[in-house]
Amino acid sequence: MASNELRNSLHDFIRGLPKAELHLHIEGSLEPELMFALAQRNGVTLPYASVDEVRAAYNFSDLQSFLDLYYAGAAVLQSEQDFYDLTRAYVQRALADNVRHVELFFDPQTHSVRGIVLRTVFAGIARALREARAENGLSSAMILCFLRHLTEEEAFATLAAALPLREEYADLWLGVGLDSGEVGNPPEKFARVFARARELGFHLVAHAGEEGPPAYIQNALDALGVERIDHGVRAEEDTMLMQRLAQSRTPLTVCPLSNLKLRVVQDLREHNLARLLRSGLCVTINSDDPAYFGGYINSNFIASADALQLTREELVHMARNSIVASFAPEVRKQACLQELQDYVLAH
């Protein structure tokens, strides 16, 4: 086969690959078209005249320059129906990309500052996820993230406000995470609230080593006790940490197009995803904030495969990692792994 045909067939292989998405901020899946529709529905005035103008503004220099727009865009989300529409739109994209299990992040504090009650956020997201489970067999979980630029006291208040909803959403709300501006907000700032969440039986994850140094990854493991690291690409700067991550098989939820858009790397060909994988780390591929970063999970797989010459085996390996690294019940993991194995044998 000519190299173009080979590449096309690898892309098709990726599209059909059963996979899990473990790093997806639901607010970051807000496409400009929906942003405009919700702004109109809710009487919110956006600082843009058109959808094209919104897209043109998505030119970021770093994480903070993105977060400023991301928090501004989230202001159109107000009612339960808005959160449902947002999540439903993501679910459609995920199903089209053959995502079989998703664990999505949501940021209650982004909405509570606008007076949105937590139940509204939970209810809208959960309705769409439960529907997708019943209608499409897509399994899912919700991970409540604390905004790290705010105080630990505010994180405790958010946890306290959410706990009365735990029983009602016990099938979905499985974990807590940590996101927003990383540098200057190290993991240890949230050690006590993570200890409390652990006592309560939640799974724990945190963003670390996206823009922050390897020490933040170390401390996410040691001070917070997280089970997965979101991003983690700067681990490569510390040989001992690399060994530790390889040995413990701590999953990294890597987001290549996000790293490119936020200039963590200048060119995807420089991305260390393949090196991390080839060093024995449990690497997964995810989309982070796909409406802002130019692609959903399959686009991330395809762009990485092309830029880094990933082999079919490596792509399968990362799809397998995503299932193994998930918080899905063991029976669900086994079913997804079986589906993956059948797919690989048939293709």
CA distance 92 to 245: 34
Per partner kind, with CB cut-offs from 5 to 8 A, the member of ligand HPA, Zn ion, none near residue 28 is ligand HPA
CA distance 28 to 69: 10
Which lies closer to ligand HPA via its Cβ, residue 64 or residue 79?
64
Residue 103 contacts ligand HPA per CB under 6 A: no
CA distance 110 to 146: 9
User: Which of 88, 207, 234, 333 touches ligand HPA by CB under 6 A?
Assistant: 207
Residue 210 contacts ligand HPA per CB under 6 A: yes
The least CB distance from residue 23 to ligand HPA, in Å, is: 8
Residues 6+ apart with CB under 8 A from 330: none
Angle at which helix 312-324 crosses helix 330-346, to 10 degrees, equals 170
Active-site residue among 210, 236, 330, 339?
Answer: 210
Residue 57 DSSP class: T
Question: Measuring CA to CA, how many Å separate 150 from each of 125, 181, 236?
Answer: 24, 10, 28
CA-wise closest residue to 282 among 310, 309, 315, 322: 322
Per partner kind, with CB cut-offs from 5 to 8 A, the member of Zn ion, ligand HPA, none near residue 31 is none
Per residue, what are the HEC states of 286-311? CCECHHHHCCCHHHHHHHHHHHHCCC
**What residues form DSSP beta bridges with 284?**
253
Query: Segment 165-184, which members bind ligand HPA (CB under 6 A)?
Result: 179-180
Q: Which two tokens stand for residue 69?
A: 């727009």
User: Which of 288, 326, 327, 336 touches Zn ion by CB under 5 A?
Assistant: 288
CA distance 271 to 283: 13
Residue 97 contacts ligand HPA per CB under 6 A: no
Query: Segment 9-68, which members bind ligand HPA (CB under 6 A)?
Result: 25, 28, 63
Query: Segment 60-79, which members bind ligand HPA (CB under 6 A)?
Result: 63, 70
The least CB distance from residue 74 to ligand HPA, in Å, is: 10
Which lies closer to Zn ion via its Cβ, residue 48 or residue 296?
296
Annotation says 21 is catalytic: no
| Total residues in contact with ligand HPA, by rule CB under 6 A | 11
Per partner kind, with CB cut-offs from 5 to 8 A, the member of ligand HPA, Zn ion, none near residue 210 is ligand HPA
Provide the binding-site residues for Zn ion, judged by CB under 5 A: 288
Provide the binding-site residues for ligand HPA, judged by CB under 6 A: 25, 28, 63, 70, 179-180, 207, 210, 258, 288-289
Catalytic positions are 210
